[in-house]
Structure 1
Amino acid sequence: MQNTLRPEANKRLSKLTLFAYGCGDFASNLCWTFIGSYLTVFYTDVVGMAPAVAAAIMLIARIWDGINDPMFGAIAERTNTKKGRFRPYIFYGAPFLALFSVLAFTTIGSGTTAVLWAAFTYIGCGMLYTVVNLSYGSLSTVMTTNPEDIAQLNSFRMMGTNLSSVLLNAITPPLLLMISGTDTYTARSYTIMAIIFAICALPLFYFVYANCKETVRPVSAKPAPLGKSIKAVLGNGPLMLIFLIQLLAMTAFFGRMGVVLYYLMYNVQRMDLISAFMSLPSLFTVIGIFLTKNFQVKVGKKKMASIGYIGSGLSLIAIYFVGWSNIPLLLVLHCIYGFCCFSFPIPMAMIPDAINYEEDRHGVRSDGISYATVSLSTKFGSAFGASGALLIMGFFGYVANAQQTPEAMNGINLTVNLIFGVMYLLCLIPLYFYPLGEKRAAEIRASLDAKFAARQNQD
């Protein structure tokens, strides 16, 4: 039987540790959010790819992630070093992630050569993001067993995510124009911005490594067989529901992030307000998470997540019907949308409960594979959302660097706002069936502690 050692695991985490953990996603998203927000436009409007080609690259990358992410999760949770199972991958993987996040915004040749280079750098960046961010995310399952601290870790993480988005979206558009020296973004400006963000991200990763320690470890030095771990993860009903929730939510969030720039450039047509439209939602997400993070345990994760998904979905649907000429109302609705995204850290705080659930049932604890499985939803969401949106926009007649037809503009509005708004509302379906409330999760933790104590007495 595999259980969990808990030396210092119930000890409350310090504010420095919580802050350091939040810096991890701040660093990750300096690289990944820039890719998510600007790479599709870089591919279509700078490299000159057809939307279908750009969409194909992203889909192929995500298909590979379906194999690569669980495989790496299995490797990570079977790693055994003095520094832990996950922390070494942050230390050694961060420089390579920074490098490939820059290479993704470079071009080599034209035509087929340019497409192959784009595929290589994008897939490579995705694999390295898995190494670093999956290891970073898995830390939240092994740093503490305290439910309030688990919720706080994921709240600080999401605040780091959105603060980096605020910074990135506020400074990127004007800096891109300044570096370009023209009224359009150039290949050189994208590359320089990627270099700046990579340089800023690297020391933050090492700050996380230095301050976030692993305290929850398997009792047995011999991990469960890989087949048994995979079977345990796939048979974990609560975990699979979390995966579905995140798949829908992340498809909506990252899909919109990947194409909202088209809406702002071609529909709203206010280049001077792009920074505001892209940074205000992230700023209000930080405010929303900060104001609601203490209610996750008190009110319940399911109720808080439901409120957030309903607010996010309805605000985007309202943006669709408002159109794109009423600028003040659009800004207000974008702020409401951002605030309601306080729900984002909640499913991640559910993952340890699902891992405990399976460990209590079958004695198998698969932190790495479990987290990798859920993290796939983020990658699938970013690819399927953005690539699907590009295909829909192409169907309605979108043409890069051209005056869009009324039909194309309506297609952009439909894609960016209505479709993703409905997708947020669909999150409520798997959330309804999620069975692990706060009371049930506490009972499972108590059962695991009792089993651990009994095992210690036997030894």
Structure 2
Amino acid sequence: MENPGNRLSKKTLFAYGCGDFASNLCWTFVGSYLSVFYTDVVGMAPAIASMIMLIAKIWDGVNDPMFGMIAERTNSKKGRFRPYIFYGAPFLALFSVLTFTTFGKGSAAVGWAAFSYIGCGMLYTVVNLSYGSLSTVMTTNAEDIAQLNSYRMMGTNISSVLLNAITAPMLAAFSAGSQGYTAKSYTIVAIIFAVCAIPIFYFVYANCKETIQPQKTETRIPISKSLKSVLGNGPLMLLFLIQLIAMTAFFGRMGVVIYYLMYDVQRMDLVAVFMSLPSLMTVIGILVTKNHMVTFGKKKMAAIGYIGAGLSLILIYIVGNTMGYSNIPVLIILHACYGFFCFSFPIPMAMVPDAINYEEDRHGVRADGVSYATVSLSTKFGSAFGVSGALLIMAVFGYVANAQQTAAAMNGINLTVNLIFGIMYLVCLIPLYFYPLNEKRSAEIRARLDERAGLSKE
């Protein structure tokens, strides 16, 4: 077996970054447009759409750790995680299309929406959790682990830039001059993205290898022991909490910012600019900071990012309330600043291998799949709680689909999309403060594990 301490090639790093690009071809469209598809196309009340998303994520709370345990107990020639990418990708692509189809009316439409969305979420778990877990088993080199997650986040945001730039024009084009986007246009766009995603997933599968394996005596550890090792892992639980808060803010805003642009800013011609600019600036932020994660410290860099992102959103809210939504240059600048400070998003995931090593060093249990699933679950919960909570708050302020909004409703949209989520980024600093592992301590733990495994220090 290849020494897991060897440095990864640029091709491998690039291939790994493509994984989230492929995932987002299926999932970013869901995250950004599904809520408005449900309310403004299917005709669901915001409360019903919110309930579907919430139920789906409650199920994810059971499904994700369960699949993590299945994956880490898988024993195949291709590894523990890679086979699920190979076999799961086509089914994820299929359900990402079904999510943007309609079936019947009334309760039938709601039932179909729940079935397709929950199915899409389960398949996303199979593929994306397996893909994400690869970063914990591809290398033991601390710098490469940070680079893997930086490349991953660049893939995420490059895809977001592309999708946010082309989705609105594509929907308009396939709506054939209709006043709003049609159900057919959503389905066609979903098909195009799904077809493009499958070969990219296979590129990741072919180029990202697993080099870290648990000791043979641990391949069949009891499920109860895996769960205990994860729940008793203090650093991992703090990472879960950090990601839960940050992803609630990030995905929550992503899922409802379209309402802010449609009803507050009222510049549909600038939707692509406002939705793609933050992702573009995140890529720039990651490129600027990714080589400093280990030397400056992941914890400090994360704190800088959360502070910058939080303050940027709070300022966007203040500008809307005081200067008006027509001050486009200021709003664009603040959206760019928000995107830049989102460079912090890959950092907690780069800390996950350190937390896994911490638990293995203490108790001899290496629960890669369950550990990653636990932290990854925060992304699922965050996207559900953020969007569903935002829809409910907007409804309280009087939001009505496809109508001229009252002043109270417009203020509610601004408060939800910007102020609440901005404050949430600042709240991330609390659990981050208590996170106990730094670069020096993590390196010492890794050295002890390598010594026990008899690996050379190449």
Fold shared, TM-score > 0.5 on shorter chain: yes
| Residue 135 (structure 2) aligns with | 140
Post-superposition offset of 1:453: 2.6
Q: Which residue of 1 aligns with 2:115?
A: 120
Paired residue type of 2:144 = D
1:402-441 matches, cutoff 5 A = 402-441=403-442
Counterpart among 298, 302, 305 of residue 305 in structure 1: 302
Q: Which amino acid aligns with 2:281?
A: F
For 1:133-212, list aligned pairs within 5 A.
133-181=128-176, 182-212=178-208
**Which residue of 222, 225, 243 maps to 1:225?**
222
Structure 2, unaligned stretches of length 5 or more?
none
Residue 216 of structure 1 aligns to a residue whose secondary structure is coil
Q: Tell me which amino acid in the other structure corresponds to 1:172.
A: T
One-letter amino acid matched to 1:185: Y
SS class of match (1:287):
helix
Structure 2 residue 38 is matched with structure 1 residue 11: no
Q: Tell me the distance in 2 between the aligned counterparts of 1:116 and 1:320.
A: 36
C-alpha distance in structure 1 between counterparts of 2:228 and 2:36, whole Å? 40
Q: Tell me the residue number matched to 1:242.
A: 239
1:212 maps to a residue whose letter is C
Task: Find the counterpart in structure 1 of residue 77 from structure 2.
Answer: 82
**Superposition map of 1:255-404 within 5 A:** 255-323=252-320, 324-404=325-405
Q: Is the 8 A contact 1:286 1:342 kept in 2?
A: yes
1:313-359 C-alpha deviation (Å, 9 max, x unpaired)? 00000000000221000000000000000000000000000000000
Q: Deviations over 1:346-378 (max 9, x none)?
A: 000000000000000000000000000001100
Q: Which amino acid aligns with 2:397?
A: F
The equivalent of 1:23 in structure 2 is 18
What do the CA deviations read for 1:228-278 (whole angstroms, capped 9, x no partner)?
A: 010000000000000000000000000000000000000000010000000
- In 1: Cα distance, 2:249 partner to 2:238 partner: 17
Q: Aligned partners of 1:441, 1:431: CA distance in 2, in Å? A: 16
* Residue 28 of structure 2: aligned partner: 33
CA deviation after TM superposition for structure 1 residue 175, in Å: 1.0
* Distance (whole Å) between structure 1 residues aligned to residue 327 and residue 158 of structure 2: 27
Amino acid at match of 1:295: H
Aligned with 1:140: secondary structure?
helix
Q: Distance in 1 between matches of 2:328 and 2:424?
A: 24
Larger mean Cα displacement after TM superposition, 442-451 or 19-28: 442-451
- Whole-angstrom CA distance in 2 between matches of 1:293 and 1:183: 44
Q: SS at 2:216's partner residue?
A: coil
Q: Distance in 2 between matches of 1:354 and 1:256?
A: 29
Partner of 1:457: none
Cα distance in 1 for residues equivalent to 2:67 and 2:309: 33
Tell me how many residue pairs correspond in the alignment.
Answer: 449
Cα deviation for residue 219 of structure 1 reads: 1.8
Give the letter aligned to residue 53 of structure 2.
M
Amino-acid identity (%): 79
Q: Which runs of 5+ in 1 are unaligned?
A: 1-5, 455-459
Secondary structure of 1:285 counterpart:
helix
For 2:210, the equivalent position in structure 1 comes to 214
* Cα offset, 1:128, TM superposition: 0.1
* RMSD (Å), alpha carbons: 0.8
Q: Give TM-score scaled by structure 1 length.
A: 0.97
- 1:3 matched to which residue of 2? none
Q: CA deviation at 1:183?
A: 3.3
* Equivalent-residue separation in structure 2 for 1:94 and 1:274 (angstroms): 30
What code does the residue aligned with 2:245 have? Answer: L
Q: Which of 91, 94, 100 is the matching residue for 1:96?
A: 91
CA distance, structure 2, for counterparts of residue 169 and residue 253 of structure 1: 15
Q: Secondary structure at the match of 2:53?
A: helix
AA of the residue aligned to 1:85: R
Displacement of 1:223 after TM fit? 2.6
How far, CA to CA, are the matches of 1:65 and 1:219 in structure 2? 29
Cα distance, 1:184 vs structure 2: 1.2
CA distance in 1, matches of 2:221, 2:109: 44
Q: Deviations over 1:277-324 (max 9, x none)?
A: 000000000000011001100100000000000000000000000002
| Contact 1:177–1:183 (CA under 8 A) maintained in structure 2 | no
